[in-house]
Every structure is written in C-alpha cells, then in structure tokens.
Amino acid sequence: MRRFFVPAEYLTGSEVIIGGETFHHMAKVLRLKKNTEVLLFDGEGNVRGAVLRDIHADSLVLDLLKHAPSAGPSPAPAITLYQGLPKGDKIDHILQKATEIGAAAIIPFQAERSVRRIDQGRESGILARWQRIVRESSRQCGRNDVPEVAFSLGLGEAIKADRSSVKLLLWEEQGLAGLKDVLDTVTLPTTISIIIGPEGGIAPKEAAIAREHGFVPVSMGKRIVRTETAGIVILSILQFVWGDIG
C-alpha cells in the first residue's frame, strides 16, 4: 500500500484534504483513482489508513480509516550522525541512506576541510530541501518516524549540547583504537553519536574539540572509505550490534 507524509493534524477527524506537492504526486504522477486505499504517516510514529473519495483540480479528499498499527519508536539506540559537509550533492545520498538504515538525527556541519560552503542566509532553504529528502526516504523505506535534520556552521556548535552515552569520532589518524575494540567495551547504549569528516577528513583542531566534548577517536582499520560511504558502514554496524538489523 502506498504511503504519504502529512502533518500530524491531518490524522485527526474523519477526512482530510490534501493539496500542494503531495496532491501533485498522488494525482498527477501516480494517477491514483477513487476508492484507492493509502497510508498516511506524520513522521512521529502515527499512521492512519485513508480512502480516496474525491479528486478536484488542485486537491484530493480522503476519508480517514481507523489508526493503523504503529511501528512505535525506532529501536534503541538512537543514533545521531554528525556529517562533515561533502562536495556537491553527496549529502543527498547520505541523508537518504542514513534514513533508510535508521539514524535518529543527521546533522551536516561546515567542517574546516569542507570544499562546499553554505553561506549564512541560505541555510533555511537548504535545510528545507534536506528535510524533504528525509521525509521522502522515510516514506519509501517504511519508517513511520522521520529523522531530525539540522545544519551547523561548525563542529563545535554542532556537538556542544550532545548528551549521548556513546560518542565516536571516526578518524583516519594512525595508532587509534579499532572500532570493534571500542564497541566491545560498551554495554547496550540508549544513544550514540558519530562524527564523520568530509573528503579531507577531520582537522586536528576539530578532533581536539571533539575530544573535549567526550568523543572517542576510532579507526576502521586498514580500510579507507569515502565520506559518503563511511556513515552507511558505521550506521549498519551499530544497527547490527544493537539495533534492528539482523
């Protein structure tokens, strides 16, 4: 059954009127017909079935059915990914895949070695686009919640309020403890935060800031992976060890 994201207030009452981009996708792209059943979710874990009743020039009217069984909160631990802003549109891929794997929050930040720069004043438009990407990814992969997405102009600003029980800095410096060795010392955590740098990696000054905030530098061993791959790999490992993969 097809799924569509709607604001939480749309899931109250007995009917809902849908316009805008969602209307266009449902009516013009998918060409849904009357009496088609769909699922509507609000990104907060709530899901409700609906039946398409009327199709108008710029809106659809759907009758809401009883609440569908909710998948509930995402399995522990809640994982936050701090991602150094990469080149071009690589961040789009990272947002999509991190959502699919189950990240609770994805925070791109302007790293010292980021080639791409986001000027002040443009953050709101870019952030809105990123939020659309994770909503669409949640819809496609069957998540009933939507990851938090934010943007920070620097690593220090991004992590200053982080209170995760496990904090990892993925770094390519020699002589660091391996990821497996560090994970073997940890019992089941409720929250995990990960820092991954852009193409040029994390700068020493940023590593020092991360350490000051309790992040433990770890290595992936001999493997060298791209920044757009690193998050996918480590999220998958953490979800396998403590989450809902496997």
Residue 136 within a domain: yes
pLDDT tens, 91-149? 999 999 999 999 999 999 999 999 988 877 788 889 999 999 999 999 888 888 899 99
Model confidence at 70: pLDDT above 70: no
Do 151 and 218 reside in the same domain of the chain?
yes
Is pLDDT above 60 for 179?
yes
CA atoms of 39 and 14, how far apart (whole Å): 14
For residues 119 and 206, what is the distance between their CA atoms, to the nearest angstrom?
A: 20
Is residue 88 predicted with pLDDT exceeding 60?
yes
Indicate if 34 and 118 belong to the same structural domain.
Answer: no
Between 175 and 215, the higher pLDDT residue: 215
Asked if 26 contacts 50 with a C-beta cutoff of 8 angstroms, the reply is no
Q: Which amino acid is at 218?
A: V
Q: Indicate whether 38 and 97 sit together in one domain.
A: no
- The reply to whether the predicted model has a pTM over 0.85 is no
Position 60 in a domain: yes
Q: Are residues 115 and 20 in the same domain?
A: no
pLDDT at residue 75, rounded to an integer: 56
pLDDT value at position 3?
Answer: 87
Are residue 46 and residue 158 in the same domain, yes or no?
no
Is it the case that residue 63 has pLDDT exceeding 70?
yes
Residues 111 and 144 in one domain: yes
Query: CATH no. for residue 197?
Result: 3.40.1280.10
pLDDT in tens, 200-216: 999 999 999 999 999 99
In this prediction, residue 68 has a pLDDT band, given cuts at 50, 70 and 90, of low
In a domain, 72, yes or no: no
Residue 231 burial (CB count, 10 A) = 25
Q: Are residues 147 and 44 in the same domain?
A: no
What distance in Å separates the CA atoms of residue 107 and residue 130, rounded to the nearest whole number? 10
> Above pLDDT 90, what percent of the chain?
61
Residue 66 clears pLDDT 80, i.e. is over it: no
Could you tell me which of 118, 114, 191 has the C-alpha nearest to residue 148? 191
Percent of the chain clearing pLDDT 70 (strictly above): 95
Residues 144 and 222 in one domain: yes
Please report, as a single letter, which amino acid is at residue 128: A
Which pLDDT score, from 0 to 100, does residue 158 have?
96
Q: Where are the alpha helices (DSSP H) in the chain?
A: 20-23, 90-101, 123-141, 155-159, 179-183, 204-212, 227-242
**Domain C-terminal end among 23, 43, 67:** 67
Task: Using the 3D structure, point to which of 23, 46, 67 is the last residue of a domain.
Answer: 67
Cα(233)–Cα(5) distance, integer angstroms: 28
Instruction: Give domain status of residue 73, yes or no.
Output: no
- Of 21, 42, 67, the one marking the end of a domain is 67
Residue 221: the pLDDT is 80
Asked if 218 and 115 sit in the same domain, the reply is yes
Please tell me whether residues 34 and 95 are part of one structural domain. Answer: no
Average pLDDT of the chain is: 90
The answer to whether residues 58 and 49 touch, using CB atoms and an 8 Å cutoff, is no
90-101 helix and 227-242 helix, angle to the nearest 10 degrees: 10
CA 134 to chain centre: 6
pLDDT at position 74, please? 55
CA distances to 32, 46, 201 from 41, in Å: 18, 6, 37
pLDDT (average), residues 20-29: 90
Q: What is the pLDDT of residue 161?
A: 92
Number of domains forming the structure of the chain: 2
Domain for residue 201, yes or no? yes
Beta strands in the chain (DSSP E): 3-5, 15-18, 37-41, 47-55, 60-67, 78-84, 105-109, 148-149, 166-170, 191-196, 216-218
**pLDDT of the residue at 119:** 76
- As to burial, measured by CB atoms within 10 angstroms (0-12 exposed, 13-18 middle, 19+ buried), residue 56 is exposed
CATH of the domain at 15: 2.40.240.20
Sheet containing strand 166-170, strands side by side: 148-149, 105-109, 78-84, 191-196, 166-170, 216-218
Both 140 and 111 in one domain: the answer is: yes
Structural domain including 221 reads 78-242
Position 22 in a domain: yes
Could you tell me if 90 and 27 lie in one domain? no
